[in-house]
C-alpha cells in the first residue's frame, strides 16, 4: 500500500522520478474527465438544469435563517407556502421586467406580491439576494447588513417564505433569492424592507386568516433537483482539483528534498497557476449581492 502510494504521489525510480499521477497519460485522463464533465453538465441533457451552478436551496436557507434566530434566542419562523409562492412570483417578475429592486418599474411593491397570494399580514418584510453560490453565504451576507439582519431577527415575524429562481437579468445568467417574512394579520399592517426603506411602512390590506403552514419540502421542488446535479458536478470537480494539488505538492516537496533534476513541467509554476485559478473561484463564490 505504501509502495503504491509512493508510486502514485512521490518521485521514485519506478515512476521515472515523477509522481505517476502527474505523468502526461494521467494528465490526459484528467483533461478527458473534465471534457466529459463539461459535456454532461454544461452541454448535454443536464445543461438546462445546471445552467446556473449554485448550491442554494430553500431548505437550507430556511434552516440557516432559523439557526440565526435560535442563536439570538428568538422563536423559530414557520415556513409558509403562500409567502414562498409570493417570493417566487416576485423573483419571476424581476426577471420578466429586468429589475433588481424592492419595487418594480411599474410600482409594484413586495406587499403586492404577498397580498396577491391571499396572505393577510400584520407585518411583512423582504430580503433579496442574487448570484450567491452557497446558501450559507446568502444568510451570512444578510446577517452582516444591519437592515437585513433586522428582518431576520425581528421578533414580530412569525412566518417566512423563500424562492430561488434562475433567469437572465441584465443579460447575465442570475440566481435570485427572495425571502419574505410575515406575521398573519390580526389588527394592523406594517412592512419592512432593508436599506432605504428600513423603517416600518404603513400599508393597507385587509385583515384575515389564511395562513397555511407547511414544510419547505412541499414546495419549490425544482430547487431540489438542481442541488443534486450541481452537487455531483461540484464535488467531482473539487475532488479532482484537490487530488492534482496534493500530487503536485507531494511531488514538489519530495523532489526538492531529494534534490532531483528532472525535465518536466515546473510544479511551482503549476501551483502558482492553480492558486490563481482558485482565487478566481473564490471571487466568484463571494460575489453575491444583497438588497
Partner 1 sequence: MKIKAATFLDYLILSTGAIFIIFFLQLYQGERISSFLILLSFVLFYIIWAFYHHTKDESLHIKTMIEYIFIGFTFLLLLIVIFII
Query: Rounded distance, CA 227 to CA 221, Å?
Result: 10
Judged by CB under 8 A, does residue 240 bind partner 1?
Answer: yes
Judged by CB under 8 A, does residue 164 bind partner 1?
Answer: no
For partner 1, the binding residue among 49, 74, 153, 241 (CB under 8 A) is: 241
Q: Other C-beta atoms within 10 Å of 225: how many?
A: 11
Query: Rounded distance, CA 189 to CA 177, Å?
Result: 24
Judged by CB under 8 A, does residue 37 bind partner 1?
Answer: yes
Judged by CB under 8 A, does residue 242 bind partner 1?
Answer: no
* Binding characters for partner 1, 108-147, by CB under 8 A (x = yes): -----------------------x-x--------------
Q: How far lies 153's CA from each of 22, 146, 215, in Å?
A: 51, 10, 20
For partner 1, the binding residue among 11, 272, 290, 291 (CB under 8 A) is: 272
Judged by CB under 8 A, does residue 234 bind partner 1?
Answer: yes
Q: Say if residues 247 and 270 touch (Cβ distance below 8 Å).
A: no
Q: Where are the alpha helices (DSSP H) in the chain?
A: 2-9, 24-38, 47-50, 58-71, 81-96, 110-116, 135-144, 146-152, 221-257, 267-285
Q: Where are the alpha helices (DSSP H) in 132-219?
A: 135-144, 146-152
For partner 1, the binding residue among 27, 70, 76, 260 (CB under 8 A) is: 27
Judged by CB under 8 A, does residue 260 bind partner 1?
Answer: no
Quote the least distance from Cβ 38 to partner 1, whole Å.
Answer: 5
Judged by CB under 8 A, does residue 53 bind partner 1?
Answer: yes
Q: Give the nearer residue to partner 1 in terms of CB position, either 22 or 203.
A: 22
Q: Say if residues 115 and 205 touch (Cβ distance below 8 Å).
A: yes
C-alpha cell at 225: 433537483
Which residues of this protein are in contact with partner 1, per CB under 8 A?
22, 24, 27-28, 30-31, 34-35, 37-38, 41-42, 53, 131, 133, 172-173, 233-234, 236-238, 240-241, 244, 252-253, 256, 263-266, 268-270, 272-277, 279-281, 283-285, 287, 289
Amino acid at each position: 500500500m505504501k509502495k503504491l502510494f509512493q508510486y502514485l504521489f512521490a518521485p521514485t525510480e519506478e515512476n521515472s522520478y515523477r509522481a505517476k499521477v502527474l505523468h502526461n497519460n494521467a494528465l490526459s485522463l484528467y483533461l478527458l474527465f473534465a471534457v466529459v464533465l463539461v459535456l454532461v453538465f454544461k452541454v448535454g441533457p443536464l445543461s438546462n438544469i445546471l445552467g446556473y451552478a449554485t448550491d442554494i436551496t430553500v431548505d437550507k436557507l430556511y434552516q440557516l435563517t432559523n439557526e440565526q434566530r435560535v442563536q439570538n434566542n428568538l422563536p423559530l419562523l414557520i415556513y409558509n407556502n403562500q409567502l414562498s409562492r409570493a417570493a417566487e412570483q416576485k423573483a419571476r417578475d424581476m426577471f420578466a421586467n429586468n429589475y433588481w429592486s424592492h419595487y418594480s418599474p411599474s410600482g409594484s411593491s413586495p406587499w403586492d406580491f404577498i397580498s396577491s397570494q391571499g396572505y393577510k399580514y400584520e407585518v411583512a418584510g423582504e430580503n433579496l439576494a442574487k448570484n450567491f453560490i452557497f446558501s450559507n453565504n446568502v444568510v451570512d451576507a444578510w446577517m452582516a447588513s444591519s437592515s437585513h439582519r433586522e428582518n431576520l431577527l425581528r421578533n414580530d415575524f412569525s412566518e417566512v417564505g423563500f424562492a430561488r429562481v434562475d433567469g437572465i437579468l441584465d443579460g447575465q445568467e442570475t440566481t435570485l433569492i427572495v425571502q419574505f417574512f410575515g406575521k398573519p394579520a390580526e389588527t394592523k399592517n406594517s412592512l419592512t424592507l432593508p436599506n432605504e426603506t428600513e423603517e416600518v411602512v404603513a400599508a393597507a390590506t385587509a385583515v384575515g386568516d389564511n395562513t397555511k403552514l407547511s414544510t419547505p419540502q412541499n414546495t419549490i421542488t425544482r430547487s431540489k433537483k438542481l442541488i443534486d446535479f450541481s452537487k455531483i458536478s461540484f464535488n467531482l470537480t473539487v475532488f479532482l482539483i484537490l487530488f492534482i494539488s496534493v500530487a503536485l505538492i507531494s511531488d514538489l516537496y519530495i523532489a526538492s528534498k531529494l534534490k532531483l533534476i528532472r525535465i518536466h513541467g515546473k510544479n511551482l509554476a503549476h501551483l502558482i497557476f492553480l492558486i490563481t485559478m482558485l482565487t478566481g473561484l473564490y471571487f466568484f463564490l463571494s460575489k453575491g449581492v444583497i438588497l
